[in-house]
Chains A and B, each alone.
Chain A
Amino acid sequence: MATRLIIKTKDLTQIYGMGDARVAALDGVSISVHEGEFVAIMGPSGSGKSTLMNILGCLSRPTSGAYFLDDEDVSGLDKVELAGIRNKKIGYIFQSYNLLSRTTALDNVVLPLQYDRLTERTTEERKKVAMKVLEMVGLADRVEHQPQELSGGQQQRVAIARALVNSPVLIMADEPTGNLDSKSGAEIMQLLHDLHNQGATIVMVTHSTEIASHTERTIHLLDGKIDKIIGNGKKAKQ
């Protein structure tokens, strides 16, 4: 493999509860995702896919095991460092969009840039960057609209723009079409495909086999372990 590894985990384990009530939500999961891959994670509820998603998205830390994101060991980072990783390296797309209400699309997209303390940018520069990404997702004419004035599909586009604005190495999508009608859902999937074709690395959690079939690989989880990994007949981009 010539491409670099974006995600590399070794024996990720997450244990909830104490004593007899101990439950292993994740039990020794080791996966790798290369740059430019589009991977789906599937599994029934309780299989540990949300837990894995949270760890991969640096929203929580595993009880044990190692996680290398873009060649950096992030399993031992503290809260502040994790916040920095989330800001610079990861873009999230949620099922329920999670946009700030009563805040314009533009301001929502600017937000990750405001929390970026590594790059010096003026307010004008931030707006420019955010505008560019909003144009890319086809919302150039909606930038001053607030979420409640936008359709579900449009809101998800704003969320995608927000995920992309800091040029992350990894996009985490959690049921990105779950709240959308099939037409809007198809449009969002098309947008993700476009991003993938431009070289983005995407990990998507879904319960729908149809949606998962858009990806190159599907990782099936069961009871906190990898059940199977199925190639979806699409070649990983080299």
Chain B
Amino acid sequence: MKSSEVFNIAWAAILKNKVRSLLTMLGIIIGVAAVIVMVAISAGTEATISEQITSLGSNLVFVQSSFSRGGAGGGMPQGGLVYDDAAAIAENVQGVGGVVVEQSATESIKADGVVLDGITLLGSTADFPSVRDMDVAVGRYFNEIEVERKQKVAVLGASLAEELFGTTDPIGQDITVGNTRLVVIGVLEEKGLVGDVDYDSRLYMPITVVLDKFAPTQFAKIMGDSVRLIYVEVNDQENLDDVILQIQLLIAKRHDLPLEEADFTVTTQQDIIGTQEATTAAFRSLLGWVAGVSLIVGGIGIMNIMLVSVTERTREIGIRQSIGATPNDIRWQFLTEALLLSLVGGFIGVIFGVGGAWIFGSVSGMRTVVVTESIILAFSSAALVGAFFGFYPANKAAELDPIDALRYE
């Protein structure tokens, strides 16, 4: 029997019981669609995260206070990073493009009759725009001299400028932050949400001003110039390890501690991306397993219906055998039917998966990226499942005794 004829017979058998065939395929459809949608969601999340991380500036090294010494017991933290550490890094470490220190606080802002409460103030050094990949839209960012001299200047995030001044040009305007008056010298380009931080609604000013006027707690006032985090931009990716080592040695020396007892940690952008990737990869493989299980369940559904089909069509099998069908002819016929069921189901599943990922993306606002490999993987798994679970029923049909099969009522 020609394979086109085998195909036609199988196809006719599937069409004969449309509803049942569709129900049989449902497991495969759901399984394949689930694989594609889930991979699309996790790939979308992954792409968003890594874009956000790199949008914060590439080649970044983070130096963080770890308070490993004395601070963990809840007592007064001893040591940790101070503002001068940043200056030392900028001065002494080779291969550094820029160093930024940040200290944030929360205050209310008044300008032009508008009062906004709970605005985040971000004190930084002058390198902030270049290190964190922020662009200035209007005016300028403050410079090193202004930081050093504690000049009361402010740069507005895009949406903050809009809220405070509307269409008026904010450059040169006065704003009152807490009890301190500052002059607006620039507005930043719109950045959008990065992670869960809205960079556009913040107020940027020299870190010295924040440390001086807006230190968030009494404790911080005592600590004076203690900082939590120093951002260091490395000129060349190749120097990264060298720069890290220099920073570690320098700060350990400044804090008068051996390296093993350092009260700070140095991490890189790559570390963070690596962690994120590991997390999403674990998430993705979990989703993959869940989807894989539903494919297997779908396969069992196919086996179930094929077994019913073989029993129902015992007489037909007997007739075919009596006129010359070999066991292989019968086996192929039923295997083709199972394969066709799973392939058609897989095809419908691909359509549902791609469409589902798109719909999910536009409804939930989450980014989804349909990965071609996931389509290939899901579709070929469906075919494999069909072949695997179709084999047993097909074999059962092939082994039927012609006499028994002909006698079957």
Contact = CB atoms under 8 A, between A and B. Distances in A.
Interface of A: 54, 57, 59-60, 79-80, 83-84, 86-88, 92, 94, 98-100, 102, 111-112, 114-117, 162, 166
A45 to B, nearest CB: 14
A115 B320 contact: yes
Contact of B319 (A88, A98, A166): A98
Contacts of A114: 1-2, 5
Interface-central residue, A87, A92, A100, A114, by most chain B CB under 10 Å: A114
Nearest to B315: A98
A79 B316 CA distance: 18
A86 B324 contact: yes
A92 B319 CA distance: 10
A116 B324 CA distance: 7
Complex A-B, nearest 3 residue pairs according to Cβ-Cβ distance, in ascending order: A87-B324, A115-B324, A83-B326
A49 to B, nearest CB: 14
B259 interface: no
B290 interface: no
Contacts of A84: 324, 326
B322 interface: yes
Interface string B294-330: 0000000000000000000001101111111111110
B11 to A, nearest CB: 13
Interface residues of B, number: 22
Nearest to B1: A114
B406 interface: yes
B129 interface: no
Contacts of A88: 324
Contact of A115 (B1, B16, B316): B1
A112 B327 contact: no
Contacts of A94: 406
A55 to B, nearest CB: 10
B323 A115 contact: yes
B95 interface: no
B322 A59 contact: yes
A100 B16 contact: no
Nearest to B399: A79
Contacts of A92: 322-323
Nearest to A97: B319
B320 A111 contact: yes
A98 B329 contact: no
Contacts of B324: 83-84, 86-88, 112, 115-116, 166
B355 interface: no
Contacts of B5: 114
Contacts of B320: 111, 115
18 contacts: A59-B321, A80-B328, A83-B321, A83-B329, A92-B322, A92-B323, A100-B316, A100-B319, A111-B323, A112-B323, A112-B324, A114-B1, A115-B323, A115-B325, A115-B329, A117-B1, A162-B323, A166-B324
Contacts of B401: 60
Contacts of B327: 79-80, 83
B116 interface: no
Contacts, number: 60
A5 to B, nearest CB: 23
A94 B405 CA distance: 14
B402 interface: yes
Nearest to B323: A112
Contacts of A87: 323-324
A100 B16 CA distance: 13
B106 to A, nearest CB: 77
B403 interface: yes
A99 B320 CA distance: 10
B313 to A, nearest CB: 10
Nearest to B329: A115
A146 B271 CA distance: 72
Contacts of A112: 323-324
Interface in B325-382: 325-329
A107 to B, nearest CB: 10
A99 B318 CA distance: 11
A54 B329 contact: no
Interface-central residue, A59, A94, A102, A112, by most chain B CB under 10 Å: A59
Given A54-B403, A79-B327, A98-B315, A86 B16 contact: no
Contacts of A117: 1
Contacts of B316: 100
B149 to A, nearest CB: 94
Nearest to A53: B403
A51 to B, nearest CB: 9
B15 to A, nearest CB: 10
Nearest to A87: B324
A79 B5 CA distance: 22
A12 to B, nearest CB: 16
A79 B324 CA distance: 10
Contacts of B315: 98
Contacts of A162: 323
A60 B405 CA distance: 12
Contact of B406 (A80, A98, A102): A98
A87 B321 CA distance: 9
A119 B5 CA distance: 16
A94 B406 CA distance: 10
Contacts of B319: 98-100
Contacts of A111: 320, 323
B323 A86 contact: yes
B322 A80 contact: no
A214 B319 CA distance: 27
A116 B401 CA distance: 20
Interface string B225-263: 000000000000000000000000000000000000000
Contacts of A166: 324
A117 B335 CA distance: 20
Contacts of B328: 80
A98 B322 contact: yes
